[in-house]
Chain A
């Protein structure tokens, strides 16, 4: 079975600074997807960024980028120019290539942004 581990229960960052959230996963599959979701206090699940395992290039979405290390099974999220609105729970998630919408989530990292 796949597992996803987020080793940082809480992180804090100064507004306008950069922060990196860590995620490692375990799988025997070669084709899969990795995701970072943001969950604000409203509990809405918001997709931040997605990475296809077959792509070597790291995904980027505006201020958000990932460092995908397939051999090391590592998938970290970098948030640049942090904003107060970035404060939330962040979840790393894994989906096998043909696995419908069955996601395996990590335990989450609470990000606090200091003004």
Chain B
């Protein structure tokens, strides 16, 4: 059971480039979300999904797109990278209910630097 897997772990981008951060979970969780963590701050919600085919914006969605074609995968796309998007990105998932329904599982983070 791998939990929440994020790739890549480290990435350097040039301003204007696009890229996709991958997130996969093998726990059949309905809820998935992406957060960013800037230096010295807490995590902020970028986008979230309550199930396959359903996504919505969080607190800081500008410059990012998401899709949820399967329950397992929730990729985050940076459309045109900017230095302000330099951050650590976390993917998280949660089951709807059950014994683990209140536990949110986080990936290990993806460190992105935009130069």
Residues in A lying within 8 Å of B, measured CB to CB: 4, 33, 42-45, 47, 50, 52, 91, 93, 100-108
Contacts and interface: CB of A to CB of B under 8 A. Distances in A.
B44 A47 contact: no
Interface string B37-67: 1001111110010100000001000000000
A106 B107 CA distance: 19
Main secondary structure of the interface of A (DSSP, over half): loop
B84 interface: no
A87 B32 CA distance: 29
A102 B58 contact: yes
A101 B88 contact: no
B75 interface: no
A102 B47 CA distance: 9
Interface residues of chain B: helix, strand, loop or mixed (majority): strand
A106 B42 contact: yes
A108 to B, nearest CB: 5
Contact of B48 (A91, A101, A105): A101
Given A101-B94, A103-B92, 9 more contacts: A33-B102, A43-B109, A44-B109, A45-B90, A101-B33, A101-B104, A103-B104, A104-B45, A107-B42
Given A33-B102, A44-B108, A47-B103, A102 B48 contact: yes
Given A45-B106, A50-B102, A100-B50, A105 B43 contact: yes
Contacts of B92: 45, 101, 103
12 contacts: A33-B102, A43-B37, A100-B48, A101-B48, A101-B104, A102-B33, A102-B45, A103-B92, A104-B45, A105-B43, A107-B41, A108-B40
A65 B90 CA distance: 26
A43 B91 CA distance: 13
Contacts of A106: 42
A108 B41 contact: yes
Contacts of B93: 101
Nearest to B41: A107
A107 B58 CA distance: 17
A50 B50 CA distance: 22
